[in-house]
A and B are shown apart, each in its own frame.
Chain A
Amino acid sequence: MDRAFQRTQILTNHLLRSSPPSPLSSNACLSYSPPELSENNAFDVEEMRNLIDGHNVEERDWLFGLMKQSRLFNPRVRGGKVFVSPDYNQSAEQQREMTWKRIEYLLGRGAFERWLTEKGEEIEMRRFAGFEVFSIYDHSLFTKLGAHFFLWGGAIEFLGTKHHHEKWLRDSENYLIKGCFAMTELGHGSNVRGVETVTTYDSSTGDFVMNTPCESAQKYWIGGAANHATHTVVFSQLHINGTNQGVHAFIVQIRDADGNICPNIRIADCGHKIGLNGVDNGRIWFDNVRVPRENLLNSVADVSPDGRYLSSIENPDQRFAAFMAPLTVGRVYIACSAVYQSKVALAVAIRYALTRRAFSLKPKEPEVLLLDYPSHQRRLIPLAARTYAMSFAANYLKMLYVKRTPRSNKTIHVVSSSFKATFTWNNMHILQECREACGGQGLKTENRVGHLKGEYDVQSTFEGDNNILMQRVSKALFGAYMAAQKRNKAFKGLGLEHMNKPCPVIPSLLTSTTLRCSRFQMDALCLRERDLLNRFVADVSKCKAEGKSTQQAFLMCYQLAEDLGRAFSDRAIFQTFIEAEATLPAGSLKDVLGTLRSLYALICIEDVSYLRYGYLSVDNGANVRREITKICSELRPHALALVTSFGIPDPFLSPLAFNWIEANSWSSV
């Protein structure tokens, strides 16, 4: 009866055009109430943004502005606001042309100035900021720039020597040369050492001859190869006088200045993809391609004119590791950009949850705001805490990278592998949760959240498959353990110093105060890492004692390896959170970060591994979960400020984050 009455009332109101009653009463038409007018910022969102963006904030705003003000970035007005996002309804061919036009525009405005021709911390941080901003606009833009600048440009920088730098870097920075990076083959991805492309040296002519000997050796997924690239770095086996010297990198021209494919090169398209259709991924075959001798990137090894192989690194394993340097920086870029996608999705989902209502608790009462449901808070707010944690960790990783020394290479490799895998997995999880939290609206491409899943899924496997990267992390930890044990020395590096201290003890009853204490949180994370490392070493040793090789033993112990990798990541990320918090003076910013830090720690400790390995009693497990719900409701009033601090400008979010009623009104059809 109630329902029938309500409907009649609504109809009567429409017919009589009487002035509507309070918009919150259950029978009025819904009206959009901007969250800015009802939510208060308890802390300075600009300061928070500066803290979590960490660097080059002015540069970021300039780049955002460059994109917002140009027609090339497809501005559309929805609900009275301008949004910029590519038109994903265009054909892949059209999207590729648009990506290229956007790059030309940014180039003309000086967005890439000094990106390749200058070295040092300042320019590297600026480049990081640029890539993060471009990734917020479109993953294709990020990826196409990434293939050119950090893969092609990085290969020349890291693997080439002075004459390569002089010859190629300036022209690449100005896009007189468009580069790509041909490493992956149909038959070999993560296992780069297995690539089948073969290059031999012809001492009679003084140049190399490159071949694709079989179909599985075709280069695959080469970003930029299908339409635009003029040059590529090719990873190929190098055969000298019948001896395979392993994988080396060569510069090969694949198109002339007019865009015609060079002789003896065949190129085909990789076809339509689940995302990144604005990138022209291609496949390449080489048929006796002649490559000048000086095009061997020779920082590690060289071939003399008479055909002798010369290398400063005798050990082929170490030689190969040196070739992988450009991929390390790629992982840093990918990890950092993943965090920004989580920011976009959370900003949209939380802003929507602050304006969308569903169901009344009692008849005739106003419907309840999505974010006022404890369950909805529980879904989204911990993800915001995780994203804050990842932001600090990303800033740490960038600093680690730009301040690199030969001694820190190992740490950079381990941390970048671990963070790349963890952030990109977290991101996919966050995107899915946010998509569902937006309901059906999350399915519209223009609302971004759902679409980002297709666009960013690739991050789990490119620049190293996440599972393989995490196995490498565990192996590195194993190595650190064995090194410390063998030399009977203390652990040093990778944050493992806690292994030198007595094993932390978790109190048998976890109170709210304990659960929010950073000391306890760190202890709990260290305890798990320590125990899993001990177990992993024990299990691997056991396998070896049973006669298996070290490699076989690692393969057998993959379950522990996975848990250990995760434990390392969680603890390392947490460490960066604590350090960021410590830099702040007492005040509202520090207070809210302390609460977020506790929430992040507790969702790590809530992980099933704590029960699986018995670090927490069932009762304490319940205490942790109860505390999480409490913190979620404490952070609820800060929700808007927390996502505003992500610093994603309105035009780069989506209509759903703002006046979604007006954006869908008949007058806007």
Chain B
Amino acid sequence: MASSQHEQVLVEEKSFARILTLNRTKQLNALSFQMDDPNVKLIILKGKGRSFCAGGDVAAVVHDIRAGGWRAGANFFMKEFTLNYLMATYSKPQVSILNGIVMGGGNGASMHGRFRVATENSLFAMPETALGLFPDVGASYFLSRLPGFFGEYLGLTGARLDGVEMLACGLATHFVPSAKLPMLEAALCAVDSSDPAIISSIIGQYSERPSLKEQSVYNRLDVIDRCFSQKTVEEILSALEREAVDRREGWISTTIQTLKKASPTSLKISLRSIRVGRLQGVGPCLVREYRMVCHVMRGEFSKDFFEGCRAILLDKDKNPKWEPSKLELITDTTVDSYFSKVKNEDWEDLKLPARPKFNLPPYVIAKL
């Protein structure tokens, strides 16, 4: 990971709050791990420029692995996932202002916090399956807890949501028009409390409840549930194909095309990860995702991650050659192996940092 010479996070100290501004606009505010500063009461996290945070700097990770082996990549993810866990279990509320693109690692930095404020500029996605990766940074926890099987839909297709959709499905807790953000920020800086109810009501004063666009996929949750609740990726695809025949709606064929373009290995391990994550606490989710990401970095069963980065980020030909190339070529045993311990000397499972045993807020305890 290219370490930065510049300040990657701007920190402003207000009387009761600490505002962290993600500041690496050049790499679309690629997330780094210098943001952990626990000595504050209320954290406000925001981006600078046109994005909140477009995710971990995947190109740099691939570069590091080429130079220093998979361990270098694993090391990056270990730090990132540890940070995700600290944010998920932080005893003071975090308010993330998602006024722009929020993808991949950016979701890891915000979705685990207590409050997520969307705006008309918000653009959400977890696009990892197109890169040969899988929704990580604790996505198997937060995606799997969305209504019905919307999490599978977002995680497998990488579909994009606007701020209104984020609010509707629960990824955002509030929607505030961007024009009101300066006032919201000022009000939050004046709050002398960590009580989530009080903070929520303050954000509420600036919030709106706009209605979904008519063509929003979230209006088609019934179809999404029927298809994405199926047991396997293959069955999800055939359910979508049946629906496509019945309804001839554009989004269904787009969804099918997207799934067919994504890495088959990624789709299979992502589906399993979300399904298992639905029944686990956030800590075990991150431990499992770390195992998975180590297997991906090692490229033992598939090198799709490197191929995906080549095709999307480096060569930009958008034409990745996945291997294995078809869903049916990937056995359950292969999928299982992504969830097993890495058989490598001195490899260890992700060690979750200790958290205070007493007086954690209930919303944190509920996630363990």
B220 contacts across to A, CB distance below 8 A: none
Residue of B nearest to A113 (CB): B231
Q: Is the CB of A658 within 8 A of B332?
A: no
Residues of A2-57 at the interface with B, using a CB-CB cut-off of 8 Å, are 22-24, 31-34, 36-38, 44, 46
Query: Chain B's nearest CB lies how many Å from the CB of A37?
Result: 5
Some 19 contacts from A to B, beta carbons below 8 A apart, are A24-B358, A31-B358, A34-B357, A37-B357, A58-B275, A58-B332, A64-B278, A68-B278, A69-B278, A79-B362, A79-B366, A80-B363, A80-B365, A80-B367, A110-B231, A649-B280, A650-B281, A659-B365, A659-B366
* Residue contact A37 to B355, C-beta cutoff 8 Å: yes
Which interface residue of B225, B272, B367, B368 has the most chain A CB atoms within 10 A? B368
Residue in A33, A46, A68, A108 whose beta carbon sits within 8 Å of that of B358 in the complex:
A33
Q: B359–A36 contact, CB under 8 A?
A: no
Mostly, the B contact residues are: loop
Contact A34-B365, Cβ < 8 Å, known A58-B275, A62-B275, A65-B275: yes
B339 cross-chain contacts in A, Cβ below 8 A: 46
Contact of A69 among B229, B272, B283, B358 (CB under 8 A): B229
* Interface membership of A66, Cβ < 8 A: yes
Question: Is residue B49 within 8 Å, beta carbon to beta carbon, of the partner chain?
Answer: no
A649 to B235, CA, bound (A): 25
Interface status of A121 (Cβ within 8 A of chain B): no
Whether A36 and B272, one on each chain, are in contact in the complex, defined by CB atoms closer than 8 angstroms, is no
Apart from A69-B149, A80-B367, A658-B365, list 9 A-B contacts with CB within 8 A: A23-B358, A34-B368, A61-B279, A64-B278, A68-B279, A109-B226, A109-B229, A109-B230, A659-B365
A36/B283 contact (C-beta < 8 A), A80-B363, A658-B366 known:
yes
C-alpha gap A33/B362 in the complex (Å): 10
A65 touches B279 (CB 8 A): yes
Q: Mark B259-278, 1 if CB is under 8 A from A, else 0.
A: 00000000000001001101
Closest B residue to A62 by beta carbon equals B231
Say yes or no for B245: interface residue by CB 8 A criterion.
no
Q: How long is the Cα–Cα vector from A32 to B272 in the complex, in angstroms? A: 32
Residues of A within 8 A of B225 (CB): 69
Q: Are B281 and A36 in contact (CB under 8 A)?
A: yes
Residues of A within 8 Å of B, CB-based: how many? 35
Q: Does B170 contact A (CB under 8 A)?
A: no
* Cβ distance A126 to chain B, nearest Cβ, rounded Å: 11
* B residues 117-156 touching A (CB-CB < 8 Å): 144, 147-149
A650-B279 in contact given A69-B148, A80-B366, A662-B365 (Cβ < 8 Å): yes
Bound together, the chains give a CA A381 to CA B202 distance in angstroms of 49
Report the separation of the CA atoms of residues A378 and B359 in the bound assembly, to the nearest whole angstrom.
Answer: 31
| 7 shortest interchain CB distances as A-B pairs | A80-B366, A649-B279, A662-B362, A23-B358, A36-B368, A81-B366, A65-B278
Closest to B359 in A: A31
Q: Does B67 contact A (CB under 8 A)?
A: no
| Complex CA–CA separation, A59 to B235 (angstroms) | 14
Chain B residues closer than 8 Å to A23, beta-carbon distance = 358-359
Q: Chain B nearest CB: distance from A63 CB in Å?
A: 9
A34 to B360, CA, bound (A): 9
Contacts of B144 in A (CB 8 A): 65
Q: How many angstroms between the C-alpha atoms of A79 and B366 in the bound complex?
A: 7
> Which of chain A's residues have a CB closer than 8 A to the CB of B230?
109-110
Which A residues are in CB contact (< 8 Å) with B149? Answer: 69
Determine if B2 is an interface residue (Cβ-Cβ < 8 Å).
no
Q: Is there an interface contact between A37 and B229, defined as CB atoms closer than 8 Å?
A: no
- Cβ–Cβ < 8 Å partners of A68 in chain B: 278-279
**Assembly CA distance A649 to B280 (angstroms):** 7
Residues from chain A with Cβ under 8 Å of B363 in the complex = 80
Q: Is the CB of B275 within 8 A of A61?
A: yes
Q: Report how far A665 CA is from B365 CA in the complex, Å.
A: 15
In the complex, B354 has a CB within 8 A of chain A: yes
Interface residues in A106-126 (C-beta closer than 8 Å to B): 108-110
Q: A80 to B88, alpha carbons, bound, how many Å?
A: 14
Contact assessment for B226 and A108 in the assembled complex, using a CB-CB cutoff below 8 Å:
yes
Scan residues 240-290 of chain B and give those whose CB is less than 8 A from a CB of chain A.
272, 275-276, 278-281, 283
**Chain B residues whose CB sits within 8 angstroms of the CB of A110 once the complex forms:** 230-231, 235
Contacting pair A32 B226 (CB below 8 A): no
